[in-house]
Structure 1
Amino acid sequence: MKLSATLLLLFSAGASAAVPSLDDENWEDMTAGKTVFVKFFAPWCGHCKSMASDWEKLSDEWAGNAVGLVAEVDCTMDDTEDICEENNIEGFPTIKFGDPTALEDYEGQRDYDAMAAFAKENLKPVCSPKNLDACNDEKKGIIEKYQAMTVEDLDAAIDGVEKQIEDADNKRDEEVEKLQETYERLMEEHDVTTKRLKVENNIGLMKAVKATLAETKDEL
């Protein structure tokens, strides 16, 4: 008998049967109208295995919730390739949250208490084009402004912001590289200076004489 994709996901190594498993086919239906907390994982990942029980416990607490969904995606499966690629998953586990169409990175601790507190604070209705009831007047105005733009104009605007972010990242990397070079130069200068001072002042002999004098004093 051929098992369905959902059953295969549930029984795959590293996945918890109690945690909703998302794939390319069911993603839209299962996340519709939800604010999500999603773990992207691989069955062989040690860190994924170590947090599996905490994630299952958290998912159980949110099961059936009208607003929040705690789920997981096995990025080693053929039918999750699109989701994992669209969300730029490069390492495991990667945890994301928020609007399913615009997930944000979760950067908190990965123990149960921290994740449960985060879920309680953040798995609430979020403002989005599909959930205008959660938007204040300012956000509604911004959405209306974007909805009046063409897809091409939105692409250009998004590309512009992402280019600025990329430039900021590059500038940071350049400055960090400069700091690294400065650090290495200072360490080298420090080593040269300390070695010179030790040699010029015969600090080794000074310490040896001091030790001898101390021994002589003790004998007296």
Structure 2
Amino acid sequence: MKFSSALVLAAASTASAIELTPDNYEAETAGKSVFLKFFAPWCGHCKKLKPDWDKLMEEFKDSPTQLIADVDCTADGKALCDENGVRGYPTLKYGDPSDLQDYQGGRSLDDLKKFAAENLKPLCSVKNIDLCDATKKAQIEKYLAMPEAELKATVEAEEKKIEDAEENFKTEVQKLQDAYTKLNEDKEKLIAEVKAAGLGLMKSVLKAPKDGKDEL
């Protein structure tokens, strides 16, 4: 009976799990405050955390304003991990989906539940416009009033600016890398030439004991 109950619980937790990727991130997180686990399936610490994290996802699965979810950094979620500066596993982040913060608290189920309940507050969004300040409300109302085609074109134009900035960044970084490589090669070449010209022998002569033959 215990074995069967465990299987049922595990199945329920798995069914409520949400795994985020770049394709579903905006849709799944819209209007919600999030608590995310960035992980790798082979990671021992990730495996240890998984049972309690699955229970946490089950606990909050029906919340309209809170989302507990996974991001697999070895699969379709890798781009999200790179974008959020994930370097180790598991990494937990929370808050506004567009401005995640690092979670530094305990990792027991009680710690995680308490943190989620106290910190995952509803955010200003199209669905929660009453939580927005006057500036954000005006922006949302402006975008809602725009024809869909115009809004789509505006979004594409803004995204193009980001893409161009990223490409420019890559180009300039490559230039710096090439310059560094050239400077390093020039340095090593000069050092080799100086040594080949007799630097070592000159140092040896300076350090050699004088035998007094040049004294009168």
Deviation at 1:170, TM superposition (A): 0.4
Instruction: Specify the code of the residue in structure 1 equivalent to 2:98.
Output: E
Structure 2: runs of 5+ lacking an equivalent? 83-88, 107-111, 212-216
Tell me the residue number matched to 2:105. 112
DSSP-derived class of the 1:180 partner: helix
Q: Using the TM superposition, name which of 188-197 and 120-129 deviates more.
A: 120-129
- Structure 2 distance, partners of 1:197, 1:137, is 69
DSSP-derived class of the 1:127 partner: coil
Tell me the residue number matched to 1:73. 70
| 1:39 to 2:42 alignment | no
DSSP-derived class of the 1:71 partner: strand
CA change 1:165–1:34 in 2 (3 A) is: closer
| 1:173 to 2:179 alignment | no
Tell me the residue number matched to 2:123. 126
CA change 1:120–1:155 in 2 (3 A) is: same
- Structure 1 distance, partners of 2:121, 2:170, is 36
DSSP-derived class of the 1:213 partner: coil
Two-structure CA RMSD over aligned residues (Å): 5.1
Which string of whole-angstrom CA distances, capped at 9 and with x for unpartnered residues, describes residues 24-62 of structure 1?
Answer: 9xx9xx9797422222545x2417617827x84xx59x9
Deviation at 1:178, TM superposition (A): 0.4
Tell me the residue number matched to 1:22. 18
State, as a whole percentage, how many aligned pairs show the same letter: 32
Equivalent of residue 46 in structure 2, options 27, 46, 49: 49
CA change 1:199–1:186 in 2 (3 A) is: same
Structure 1: runs of 5+ lacking an equivalent? 13-19
Tell me the residue number matched to 1:10. 13
For the 8 Å contact 2:32–2:65, the answer to whether it is kept is yes
TM-score computed with the length of structure 1 as normaliser: 0.60
TM-score computed with the length of structure 2 as normaliser: 0.61
Instruction: Specify the code of the residue in structure 2 equivalent to 1:38.
Output: L
Equivalent of residue 196 in structure 2, options 184, 188, 199: 199
Tell me the residue number matched to 1:213. 209
- Structure 2 distance, partners of 1:149, 1:196, is 69
For the 8 Å contact 2:35–2:92, the answer to whether it is kept is yes
**How many residue pairs were aligned?**
187
- Structure 2 distance, partners of 1:48, 1:105, is 25
- Structure 2 distance, partners of 1:209, 1:161, is 68
Tell me the residue number matched to 1:139. 136
